[in-house]
Structures are given as C-alpha cells and as structure tokens.
Structure 1
C-alpha cells in the first residue's frame, strides 16, 4: 500500500512543480493581487468615437467599430447595428453596408435576411478604446511582411 502511494506521489509531484513554474512565467493580466482575492474592477476605458475607419491588418479582418455602441440592443427582437448598416439605411446614415457574407449561411447559400451566425455583431466587430495594452504588441502588418519580397534583389540578374 505504501509503495502505491509513494509511486503515485512520485508520478504527480513533477507535474505539480512544472505547473508552478509555468504559472510564474505567464504574464499577469489581472494585476498584482492573487486571483483568489476579490478586487474592484478597474474603470472602463474611453471608447474611440471619432468615426474614422481603421485600416485592416489582414484580409478578412472584421472592421473595428469606430463609434460608441453603449446602450445598443442586440437581442432576439432587435439589432440596433442594422438600423444604420443594413442596405436600406446606408444612404441616410452614411454607414458602410454590412458585407453580403452576412446574408449567407455557412455553406454559402444566400438568405432572405441576416444570417443567424452573423446576428451578434460584437462577436467579431469590437469597439476600440484608448486603454494601455496589457502585454507588448509585436504584431507585424502583412504589408510590412510582404515588403522585402517586393524589393528588387541587388547583385542578382
């Protein structure tokens, strides 16, 4: 019996130690307090509301929301986003029309209305804030990655 317990402990302890090491290396996203202590939430950061379209970093990136959406209803009965972004309202609102893909089901069939999988806009489209990043951003835009390929190579003819 003792050998079984000893063997079990010998088998488990390295995994527990590895978990503690990995946990120490992970960036802390919740602040200096341990996760077991309840702390008040930090204040919400101000949304960027300048209505300026933001350049996308890669093809098919969902556009970000350049205006406040506080108080917008998106529920079973209403989708406030569609009051400006639906095709029939874009001339009045001057908002960009949602993509035709939002009217297609997952196999590409065109539907008579907004596809259920595209109904909750904020599942893909997010408002921007002036919040300080939690971790360093080392993202490189795809155009910057492609630039070296476009440069003529010197010394080769």
Structure 2
C-alpha cells in the first residue's frame, strides 16, 4: 500500500518540477545580464591610460598608487618584476622609491634582507593610477580636509 502512494507522489513532484521549469524558461521579460541578445556585439570600454605624476595619499597608511603601467609585469611565486626597481638594493640606482621597511618584516616582526612572503604580491594593495571613472559614486573626503 505504501509503495504505490510513494511512487505516485514522486511522479507528481517530478511532473510539477519539470512543468515549473518549462514555465519559468518561457516567461516573458527575461533579459540577459549583458542587456543585449547573444549575437549582438557590444562596444568595450575605452582603455584607461596611466595618469602622469604621483598622486597624494588620501589617508594615513594608504598604500601608494603606482604611477606607471604594470600590464607586462610578471608577479608569481618565483618572480616579482617590481623588485627590479623598488628593492632596497636597486632603488637608488634606478631612481625609484624604496619599499617601506615593513615589507621586509616577517610575521614575527623579524627584519629580513629580502621581501617577506606576506608582502610579495604587490598588486594585493597597490594599483596603477588611471583615468578610470568611479564605478560607484561616493562622498569620501581625505582626512586632512576634515579640519
């Protein structure tokens, strides 16, 4: 007695599920996230060019913004091309800013001669400055303007 009832309920549930799925797929007003049909080619954004000169920081402890392109820079587990100019051993001869000494401290605060593994991937904190518009509007004001 129980087996036919369970089989009937299973068949009903499957039919309702498939029917609901078909109705949902045929519902009017569904649009793609692109806002256009799949065969329409949408224009891409302009390439944002790097801005010349260094920008001031907006708050204390803000990571500096990179004043040059990093498109061709290799940063992986073995190579960090940023260090070719910004490592303390080369920055003087290259005319580049030296990394903060905090980049040479390990997790225990021990000072090292090489960049710590926790600071190896520069683009975790530093981004190139470009003329890109804001993605989201905001009312942020630098901390020194609050005086």
Question: How far apart in 2 are the matches of 1:115 and 1:123?
Answer: 14
Does the 8 A contact of 2:51 with 2:131 survive in 1? no
1:42 CA drift (Å) = 3.2
Match of 2:135 in 1: 134
Kindly report the root-mean-square deviation, in angstroms, between the aligned alpha carbons of the 2 structures. Answer: 2.5
State the distance in 1 between where 2:130 and 2:32 align. 24
Which structure would you say has the larger Rg?
Answer: 2
Question: Partner residue of 1:20?
Answer: none
Is 1:47 aligned with 2:49?
Answer: yes
Which structure 2 residues correspond to residues 99-114 of structure 1 after superposition, within 5 A? 99-114=100-115
Query: 1:108 offset after TM fit, Å?
Result: 1.7
Whether the aligned pair in 2 keeps the contact of 1:65 and 1:125 (CA below 8 Å) is: yes
Matching residue of 2:119: 118
Residue 65 of structure 1 corresponds to 66
Asked if 2 retains the 8 angstrom alpha-carbon contact of 1:45 and 1:129, the reply is no
Spell out, residue by residue over 1:80-111, the C-alpha distance to the aligned partner (whole angstroms, 9 max, x if none): 00000011111221110000000002332212
What SS does structure 1 have at the residue aligned with 2:138?
A: coil
5+ residue gaps in structure 2? 1-30
**Distance (Å, rounded) in 1 between the aligned partners of 2:43 and 2:65:** 24
Deviation at 1:69, TM superposition (A): 0.8
Tell me the equivalent position of 2:19.
Answer: none
Question: How many pairs does the alignment contain?
Answer: 114
CA deviations 1:41-68 (Å, max 9, x no partner) are: 8336323142x22111111100000001
TM-score by length of 1: 0.64
Deviation digits for residues 4-52 of structure 1, max 9, x if unmatched? xxxxxxxxxxxxxxxxxxxxxxxxxxxx9537987868336323142x2
Q: Secondary structure at the match of 2:145?
A: helix
Bigger drift between 107-116 and 75-84 goes to 107-116
